[in-house]
Amino acid sequence: MTSMAKPKISKHLPTNELGLTIRNYEGSMSTLCAGCGHDSVTAALVQAFWELSLAPESAAKVSGIGCSSKTTAYFMGQSHGINTVHGRMPSVATGANAVNGDLHYIGISGDGDSLSIGFGQFAHAIRRNLNMLYIIENNGVYGLTKGQFSASADIGSTTKRGVPNEQTPIDPCVQALTLGAGFVARGFSGDKSQLVPLIKAGLMHRGFALIDVVSPCVTFNDHKGSTKSYAHTYKYYHPLVHTDFVADADEITGEYEADGGMSVTLHDGGILNLRKTESDYDPRDKAQAIDTLMQPRENGEIRTGLLYVDENMADMHEANALPDQPLNKVDYKELCPGSDALGGFLKGYC
C-alpha cells in the first residue's frame, strides 16, 4: 500500500524453506498513486519469490525509466538492482547475464519504456533468448509526463479530455511470439491468484519469459473511455488458461480430467499445471496463440493466462557456449600472466 508504512514486526508470520518471512522480500514504501496497478504487481512478485524460497540476494532487478521502473525499489530490498537509461534496460540485463548467469534476472518495464524508445532493445533480448523474466506493466499511457497515449493504447481509447487514439497499438505478446519467445503470458494486476503462478513459472523458465500485465493508471487512464481501466478490464476479462505452478521440491499429487488438464515440466523440474477454460486451446501451439491474440475484438475481450510455452529452446548461454562460472568468481591471480608477460607481448609490436 502507498498510504501506510509496513509493520516491522514479523515474529508471527509464516516462514518459507529458507526461514524467511514475506517481510524479507519487501522493499521501500511505494511512492506511486494509491490504487496504482503497479503496486499489485509488486505484491505478486514478493509473494512469488517468497513461495519459491529464492534467496533475495540471488535476484537481479533491472528497469528503465517510468512509473513502472520505479517499482524495483518496492520489492526485495536486499537484491541487486539498477535503473538504466530510458529503454536500455535489456542491454544492461544482457551484459550482466553474460558474466553471471547464476542470478534470477527480473526486468520491470512499461509500455512506453519497452514499446516506444526501447522497442529495438526489447526485440533483441527476445531474439537472444536472454534468460530473464521480463514484466511489462501496461497501462496505455505515459504516467510520468501526464497521460499521453503510449504505443499500446487501443484504437478508440480516449484521454481524460475525450480525445480518441487513432493509431494502431503494439501488442507485446504478439511481437514476442513472432520474434521467437519461448514463454509468453498476459495477466491483470487485479487478479493475484493468476499472476503469482505466472510469475513463478516465468522465473523458473530457462530463456526469455514475457508477462504483459494490464496494470491500470488510476490518475490518467482509469476513466470511462479507457480500455485499460479497472472497470473495462474487469468487464471484459477472460482467463484463457488457468495456471498453477508446483515447485520441484513439492510433492505432486492429484489427477486431471481428460478434457481439462495439461502439465508442462520446466527445466528445474517444476510443473506448470494448466486447466483449459477453452477446450481447444493448447499453449504449445504458437499459431493458435497468435491467432487468439489477433482475433477481432468486437466484444472487447482481454485474454489472459499462459498464451505460449516452449521448453526446448537454448538460452543465450547455451547458444553462445558461455562459461558456467560467473566472472566475479574467477581467480584472476591464477589466470592473469602478470605485467612481465604483458611487457614481453607488447615488445613484439615495437
**Long-range contacts made by residues 155-164, C-beta under 8 angstroms, separation at least 24?**
156/227, 157/225, 157/226, 157/227, 157/228, 158/223, 158/225, 158/226, 159/220, 159/225, 160/220, 160/221, 160/223, 162/225, 164/225
In the beta sheet, which residues pair with residue 30? Answer: none
pLDDT at 244 exceeding the cut of 80: no
Q: Minimal CA–CA distance to 134: which of 109, 100, 102, 101?
A: 109
- Report the alpha-carbon distance of residue 170 to residue 294 in Å, rounded: 11
Most confident among 38-52, 152-166, 219-233, 326-340 (mean pLDDT): 38-52
The amino acid present at 237, given as its one-letter code, is Y
- Report the alpha-carbon distance of residue 46 to residue 74 in Å, rounded: 9
What is the per-residue pLDDT across 135-180, written as a single tens digit (0 to 9) for each?
A: 999 999 888 888 889 999 989 888 888 899 899 999 999 999 999 9
Q: Minimal CA–CA distance to 84: which of 127, 118, 56?
A: 118
- Among 50-64, 223-237, 267-281, the range scoring the smallest mean pLDDT is 267-281
Where does residue 349 rank: exposed (0-12), middle (13-18), buried (19+ CB within 10 A)? Answer: exposed
- Report the alpha-carbon distance of residue 51 to residue 153 in Å, rounded: 34
In percent, how much of the chain has pLDDT > 70? 86
pLDDT in the model for residue 343: 86
What is the per-residue pLDDT across 120-140, written as a single tens digit (0 to 9) for each?
A: 999 999 999 999 999 999 999
- Report the alpha-carbon distance of residue 140 to residue 125 in Å, rounded: 22
Vertex 181: Cα angle to 177 and 186 (nearest 5): 65
Higher pLDDT, 278 or 173: 173
Whole-number mean pLDDT of the chain? 87
Q: Please write down the HEC assignment for all residues of 96-145.
A: HHHHCCCCEEEEEEEHHHHHCCCHHHHHHHHHCCCCEEEEEEECCEECCC
Measure CA 191 to chain center: 15
Query: CB of 22 within 8 A of CB of 50?
Result: yes
The amino acid present at 334, given as its one-letter code, is E
How many C-alpha atoms does 276 have within 13 Å on its Cβ side? 16
pLDDT at 261 exceeding the cut of 70: no
Spatial neighbors of 99 by CB under 8 A, at least 6 apart, are 326, 327, 328
Most confident among 206-215, 217-226, 276-285 (mean pLDDT): 206-215
pTM for this model (two decimals): 0.86
Domains and CATH numbers, the chain: 22-319 (3.40.50.970)
pLDDT in the model for residue 115: 96
- Among 81-95, 152-166, 241-255, 292-306, the range scoring the smallest mean pLDDT is 241-255
What is the per-residue pLDDT across 105-120, written as a single tens digit (0 to 9) for each?
A: 999 999 999 999 999 9
pLDDT at 252 exceeding the cut of 50: no
pLDDT at 337 exceeding the cut of 70: yes
- Report the alpha-carbon distance of residue 73 to residue 237 in Å, rounded: 29
Query: Which residue has 473495462 as its cell numbers?
Result: 232
In percent, how much of the chain has pLDDT > 90? 59
